[in-house]
Amino acid sequence: MKDRFWQIKNQVNGSGEILLYGPIASSRSWFNDTVTPQEFARDLENLNGKDVTVRINSGGGDVFAAHAIHNQLVAYKGRVTVIIDGLAASAATIVAMAGQKIIMPSNSMMMIHNPAIGMDDYYTAEDLQKYVDALTAIKGSIVAAYKKRCKLSSEELEILMDAETWMGAQECLDKGFADEINGSIETVLNGNTLIINSAKYDLTAYKNAASIKNCINEKEKNMSKLEEILDSLGLKIVDSPKAQNTTVQVATPVSPQPTDNSAAIEAAVVAERQRIVDLEALDSGDNAAVKAIINQAKADGKTVAEVQPYIDAVKTVPAAQNAAQRAVADMIADNKDSGADGIASGATDDAALEKAADAKAMDNMVEIMNKKFGGVK
């Protein structure tokens, strides 16, 4: 086996995990290769149909290998979830599109462009035509794979590919390349070097790398949803976590020494899982606002330290408020079930009049609750 660029393993929780970190098939192309795809297929088959998570941090590689892996994952009988652990560029995006669900941490990225191959030998016109035909077919299949997930037309996708388009997590979500933003990773732009989740990429290899800076800073363009939650509750905090350190750094060249090994990868995965566990531990189960903030923090990649001021602010809301809101919500549901909110104003039946009066009282109570507590959820 000349180029085993993947790791496939069974997890203790009964699921499987595939790691695609680094170049895809860097030592040789899978063009006209039938042996190497069979090796991957055998490894995948050994998971026995278990649900599998594919973790990707790759600048791309051999388009034929990526296409073969994509097709095998699509045909796999278990559920396939893809997590972009940093960068999914070029051929790596083809693999990503095989996921039934694609999750991107904030500050992760995708890059799409036209498929290409490197030539390092002498070829006849007939040989070259085989590559041209193969690349044309591959581009069509890539567009088809993107189109199955995305909210864009084939023409729009081809324009993005022609331009070499870099997209941050939010843009990927908006365009349909991803289904969810969850977690956060560290991204450093150091001159022409992109360091993302401990993996280093030379940006001189790309023609439109100048747009990367916009991708890694996109998270700071919008108001934190955590702050929106507090605003809706009429609460404020003295020092907003929005002003604290973010996971994005745009550094001056200082020759960083990132690690790029399996130990660092495993540590990053463990740290992310622990972040989720720590956030969930903040939920006492009796405060709807706290639960909403925790859920948003998990999606935004916030840590316990960053979200604690929000939790503390929400805890100042009297417990009775949550109980009252729930009670009113229940009463509204009961009222609608009884049909009281559909009683005509001209009803003369005593029971109907009583229901109408109850409905009016309910409207008044809802109005008071909305003014006092910011709405019934």
257 vs 27, residue with greater confidence:
27
Residue 351: predicted pLDDT: 53
Residue 377: predicted pLDDT: 41
Q: Are β-strands 187-190 and 193-196 bridged in parallel, bridged antiparallel, or unpaired?
A: antiparallel
Distance CA 86, CA 109 (A): 6
Q: Is the pLDDT of residue 87 over 90?
A: yes
pLDDT tens column, 136-153: 888 998 999 999 999 899
Q: Is the pLDDT of residue 264 over 90?
A: no
- Could you state, in order of their start, the residue ranges of all structural domains in the chain? 319-373
Neighbours of 337 (CB within 10 A): 9
Token pair belonging to 259? 């690690």
Q: Is the pLDDT of residue 301 over 70?
A: yes
Q: Do 348 and 268 form a contact (C-beta atoms < 8 A)?
A: no
Residue 375: predicted pLDDT: 46
225 vs 299, residue with greater confidence:
299
DSSP run (H or E) holding 248: strand 248-251
- Phi/psi of residue 106, nearest 5 degrees: -60, 145
Q: Is the pLDDT of residue 249 over 60?
A: no
Residue 52: predicted pLDDT: 95
Residue 148: predicted pLDDT: 92
Q: Are β-strands 80-89 and 109-112 bridged in parallel, bridged antiparallel, or unpaired?
A: parallel
Residue 354: predicted pLDDT: 52
Residue 261: predicted pLDDT: 54
Name residues whose C-beta falls within 8 Å of residue 103's C-beta, 6 or more positions apart in sequence: 81, 82, 83, 84, 178, 179, 180, 181, 182, 183
Q: Do 60 and 20 form a contact (C-beta atoms < 8 A)?
A: no
Distance CA 201, CA 59 (A): 7
Distance CA 101, CA 82 (A): 6
Q: Is the pLDDT of residue 228 over 80?
A: no
Instruction: Please report, for residues 175, 210, 230, 265, 268, the alpha-carbon distance to residue 56 in angstroms, rounded to integers and kept in the order given.
Output: 19, 23, 35, 11, 13
What's the rounded mean pLDDT across residues 295-307? 78
Least trusted range by pLDDT, from 35-39, 41-45, 63-67, 272-276: 35-39
Q: Of 108, 86, 81, which is closest to residue 97 (Cα–Cα)?
A: 81
Residue 16: predicted pLDDT: 93
DSSP string for residues in 321-340: HHHHHHHHHHHHHHHHHHTG
Most confidently modeled of 25-34, 178-187, 258-267, 310-319? 178-187
Is the whole model's pTM more than 0.85, yes or no?
no
